[in-house]
């Protein structure tokens, strides 16, 4: 049931606010999302028809949760017809009905990154034979960014100072024409076209403006120009727009989000009622004090004072660990200890990190200790395509009769063995009962296979045989794996295939993690070989029969692993903020991105403020990079937090820990609990 008395006076004011624009600019955990949810319930209680309500959230998950909360408060029937959606899903709904006005058919398809990539490459090839795949990435990135800023193909201007822009100016109109010919739109078009529809068709603007009489937007600080324009259009008739957000949590500038949207809201919507919320209901005092201490170092921000009525709570623990594996073990120890001490569930814990590749060490340790976990916003490490591709090589090197993996890598990275040739090779092998591996060694015997293809097959088998020899040397396993990476140029292939340069960089980082995994294996094993490494990996293989699938894991009570970016808006009783090191947080970014220390600090603030009762910081003294150890420095953000809030401990200096060591540490951990917590 919904009860206005469960809100503080400011929240209540926002919930019962009737008409006109409303801005709720308030810090983390102050109940902004809760205000939106209660406001929807309140409107429904007042007899406002559900169809008149529109709430926009940042992720599908957030939309789902909000819908469920509202249903709990008002009942299924009363909630029917309200629109709680993300920007993209809202736009799909609108375009499905009206896209014919833009000359598309209503059964249009939505092109995701692989399709876009293919299209752009074709167009580039038509324009010039010299353009590389790096150009394709850049061009797509630029087109996306233009669309987010509402710059259409017709209006795009090349600049003299910027060589890529000339290429973009040439490709962008062709790209849009091709999409239209395929009756397809890309993700950015969804928003841009919806705005175009509303701008060009007064009847549609009138229709949607009056349909959505009550509009609410969560995480407003992360809206980009096209989203902003859409909201402004929809609210233009009545101005009943309620936005909530926190400029300190603006973390998507790299995708075109503009924090000015929230800071200038009052100017854009004259007469806006502004409500501040200052009480934090989420975190205990020490956690909140740390968050405040960090964020106050950002100069450009609206000053906010958050306070909590709950006590100071436990101190934040900071653990300086030896390396990634040590960090993962320390986190597991804390999970065991906290779970036992506070009778918590696994679902009460979240492990947060800056980049998705950092999840690898945690995943390994969680699996090793049989702790259920869910990975949000990323695939399980060993399920990722780029990892499976490399492992497929290793499996074929170990066993060339493994035809599934053989077929997976036969033309990966591309070596000119096309799908038609592969079909002929498979048929030849099946008709004569000869293994694929044998056929590949005598490719000239396959009918209708071109000479070039035959020689590519021969090169491939020679490569595999060469690595079979090299991998026989146990002392050179890591070097050999590195040689394989270099020789096959996996990274180049990823950059060729992946449109989004940031995604590509992450995938390359993931592959590098595999080298680290090999390096850990070598450290922990007395007589290592390729088979042993693969056995260890396959323990982590979700495809193996009898292993949990994702569904059953979600149903389980599980630890959450996710990046700081995807943790926005969520909360957990116990949070591990890991990798607190220079290079991770703040992150050392690639050439594609500009370095913005304030945005990194906001990410840190987001991470800290996810915690309700207990917050653990950790960082490593050294990490493996390309399998080699590299020294790390603690994050500058740590030094911004008053010492009295933090309890520090250093890791046991173990480098060569074996599973036996870990068993020992697991039992001594129970002995340590009482010392650790003083009871
Ligand atoms: P974020 O900035 O991280 O998105 P938020 O401002 O949206 O945070 P909410 O998630 O809405 O904050 O609320 C944080 C927590 O505080 C939730 O568990 C919520 O139920 C609780 N809370 C909010 N307001 C109150 C209240 N008046 N009384 C009790 N609990 C509250
Ligand atoms: Mg929120």
Per-residue pLDDT, 296: 93
Pocket of ligand 1 (CB under 6 A): 6-8, 11, 28-34, 246, 249, 281-282, 569, 571, 609
Claim to verify: residue 389 and residue 368 sit in the same structural domain: no
Q: Which domain holds residue 51?
A: 4-97+191-277
Claim to verify: residue 633 and residue 600 sit in the same structural domain: yes
* Contact present, 240 and 214 (Cβ < 8 Å): yes
With respect to residue 302, please indicate whether it lies within any of the assigned structural domains: no
How confident is the model over 474-517, as pLDDT tens digits? 889 999 999 999 999 999 989 888 877 777 887 888 888 888 88
Using the 3D structure, point to which of 487, 521, 540 is the last residue of a domain.
Answer: 540
For position 169, which CATH number holds?
A: 1.10.10
Does 32 appear as a known binding residue? yes
For position 204, which CATH number holds?
A: 3.40.50.300
With respect to residue 675, please indicate whether it lies within any of the assigned structural domains: no
Site of tokens 């060490």:
361
**Nearest-angstrom CA–CA distance, 237 and 334:** 54
Claim to verify: residue 374 and residue 386 sit in the same structural domain: no
Claim to verify: residue 244 and residue 140 sit in the same structural domain: no
pLDDT mean values, one per 10 residues, the chain (679 residues): 89 95 96 97 95 92 89 93 92 92 84 73 78 76 93 92 87 92 88 97 96 97 95 94 95 85 90 95 97 92 88 95 95 95 94 91 88 75 80 88 83 90 88 90 88 93 96 92 93 84 82 85 83 69 36 63 91 97 83 68 96 97 85 95 90 43 35 30
With respect to residue 41, please indicate whether it lies within any of the assigned structural domains: yes
With respect to residue 655, please indicate whether it lies within any of the assigned structural domains: no
Claim to verify: residue 478 and residue 589 sit in the same structural domain: no
Claim to verify: residue 601 and residue 576 sit in the same structural domain: yes
Ligand 1 atom having least distance to the Cα of 7: 27
Q: What is the DSSP letter of 498?
A: -
Domain tally, the chain: 4
Claim to verify: residue 452 and residue 506 sit in the same structural domain: yes
pTM comes to: 0.75
For position 431, which CATH number holds?
A: 1.10.486.10
- Alpha-carbon distances of 129 from 140, 351, 504, rounded to whole Å: 18, 47, 23
Claim to verify: residue 178 and residue 200 sit in the same structural domain: no
Between β-strands 83-86 and 53-57, what pairing exists: parallel, antiparallel or unpaired? parallel
Per-residue pLDDT, 131: 63
Per-residue pLDDT, 505: 83
With respect to residue 658, please indicate whether it lies within any of the assigned structural domains: no
Claim to verify: residue 89 and residue 127 sit in the same structural domain: no
**Nearest-angstrom CA–CA distance, 512 and 530:** 17
ipTM of the complex: 0.99
Ligand nearest to the CA of 24: 1
Claim to verify: residue 586 and residue 523 sit in the same structural domain: no
With respect to residue 433, please indicate whether it lies within any of the assigned structural domains: yes
Using the 3D structure, point to which of 484, 514, 540 is the last residue of a domain.
Answer: 540
Task: State the distance from the centre of ligand 2 to the C-alpha of 520, rounded, in angstroms.
Answer: 39
Per-residue pLDDT, 650: 66
Which of 242, 243, 282, 295 most suits a substitution to test ligand 1, by most atoms within 8 Å of the C-beta?
282
Ligand 1 atom having least distance to the Cα of 609: 3
Per-residue pLDDT, 663: 38
List of residues 6+ apart from 496 with CB closer than 8 A? 133, 136
Using the 3D structure, point to which of 121, 150, 182 is the last residue of a domain.
Answer: 182
Claim to verify: residue 521 and residue 435 sit in the same structural domain: yes
Per-residue pLDDT, 654: 42
SS3 45: helix
**Nearest-angstrom CA–CA distance, 23 and 268:** 11
Claim to verify: residue 580 and residue 623 sit in the same structural domain: yes
Ligand nearest to the CA of 570: 1
In DSSP terms, 625 is beta-bridged to 628
With respect to residue 661, please indicate whether it lies within any of the assigned structural domains: no
With respect to residue 499, please indicate whether it lies within any of the assigned structural domains: yes
């Amino acid at each position: 049931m919904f009860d206005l008395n469960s809100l503080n006076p400011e929240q209540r004011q926002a919930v019962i606010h009737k008409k006109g624009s409303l801005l709720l600019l308030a810090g983390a955990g102050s109940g902004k999302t809760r205000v939106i949810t209660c406001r929807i319930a309140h409107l429904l209680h007042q007899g406002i028809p559900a169809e008149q309500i529109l709430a926009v959230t940042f992720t599908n998950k957030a939309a789902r949760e909000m819908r469920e909360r509202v249903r709990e408060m008002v009942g299924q029937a009363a909630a029917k017809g309200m629109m709680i959606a993300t920007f993209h899903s809202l736009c799909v709904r609108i375009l499905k009905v009206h896209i014919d006005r833009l000359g598309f058919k209503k059964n249009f398809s939505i092109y995701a990154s692989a399709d876009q990539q293919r299209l752009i490459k074709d167009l580039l090839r038509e324009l010039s034979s010299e353009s590389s795949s790096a150009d394709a990435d850049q061009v797509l990135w630029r087109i996306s960014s233009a669309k987010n800023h509402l710059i259409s193909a017709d209006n795009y201007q090349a600049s003299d100072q910027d060589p890529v822009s000339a290429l973009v100016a040439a490709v962008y109109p062709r790209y849009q024409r091709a999409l239209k010919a395929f009756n397809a739109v890309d993700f950015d078009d969804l928003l841009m076209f919806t705005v175009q529809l509303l701008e060009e068709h007064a009847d549609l603007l009138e229709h949607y403006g009056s349909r959505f009489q009550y509009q609410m937007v969560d995480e407003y600080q992360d809206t980009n120009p096209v989203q902003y324009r859409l909201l402004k259009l929809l609210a233009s008739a009545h101005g009943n727009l309620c936005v909530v957000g926190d400029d300190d949590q603006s973390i998507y500038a790299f995708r075109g989000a503009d924090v000015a949207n929230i800071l200038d809201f009052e100017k854009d919507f004259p007469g806006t009622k502004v409500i501040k919320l200052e009480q934090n209901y989420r975190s205990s005092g020490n956690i909140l004090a740390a968050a405040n201490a960090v964020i106050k170092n950002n100069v450009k921000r609206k000053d906010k004072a958050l306070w909590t009525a709950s006590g100071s709570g436990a101190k934040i623990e900071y653990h300086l660990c030896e390396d990634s594996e040590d960090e993962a073990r320390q986190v597991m120890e804390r999970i065991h200890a906290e779970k036992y001490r506070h009778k918590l569930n696994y679902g009460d814990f979240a492990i947060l990190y800056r980049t998705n590749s950092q999840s690898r060490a945690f995943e390994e340790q969680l699996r090793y200790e049989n702790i259920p976990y869910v990975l949000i916003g990323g695939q399980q490490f060993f399920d990722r395509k780029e990892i499976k591709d490399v492992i497929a090589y290793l499996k074929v090197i170990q066993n060339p009769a493994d035809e599934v993996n053989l077929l997976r890598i036969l033309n990966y990275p591309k070596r000119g063995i096309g799908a038609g040739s592969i079909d002929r090779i498979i048929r030849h092998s099946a008709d004569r009962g000869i293994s694929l591996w044998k056929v590949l060694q005598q490719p000239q015997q396959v009918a209708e296979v071109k000479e070039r293809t035959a020689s590519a097959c021969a090169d491939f088998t020679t490569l595999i045989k060469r690595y079979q020899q090299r991998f026989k040397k146990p002392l050179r396993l890591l070097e050999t794996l590195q040689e394989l990476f270099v020789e096959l140029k996996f990274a180049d292939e990823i950059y060729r295939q992946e449109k989004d340069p940031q995604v590509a960089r992450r995938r390359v980082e993931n592959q590098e993690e595999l080298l680290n995994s090999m390096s850990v294996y070598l450290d922990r094993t007395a007589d290592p070989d390729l088979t042993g490494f693969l056995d260890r990996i396959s323990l982590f293989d979700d495809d193996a029969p009898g292993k949990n699938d994702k569904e059953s894991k979600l149903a389980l009570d599980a630890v959450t692993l996710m990046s700081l970016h995807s943790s926005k808006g969520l909360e957990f009783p116990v949070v591990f903020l890991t990798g607190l090191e220079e290079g991770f947080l703040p992150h050392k970014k690639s050439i594609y991105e500009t370095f913005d220390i304030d945005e990194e600090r906001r990410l840190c603030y987001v991470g800290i403020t996810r915690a309700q009762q207990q917050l653990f910081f950790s960082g490593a003294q050294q990490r493996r990079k390309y399998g080699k150890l590299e020294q790390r420095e603690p994050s500058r953000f740590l030094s911004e937090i008053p010492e009295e809030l933090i309890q520090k401990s250093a890791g046991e200096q173990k480098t060569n820990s074996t599973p036996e060591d870990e068993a020992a540490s697991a039992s001594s951990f129970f002995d340590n609990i009482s010392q650790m917590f003083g009871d």
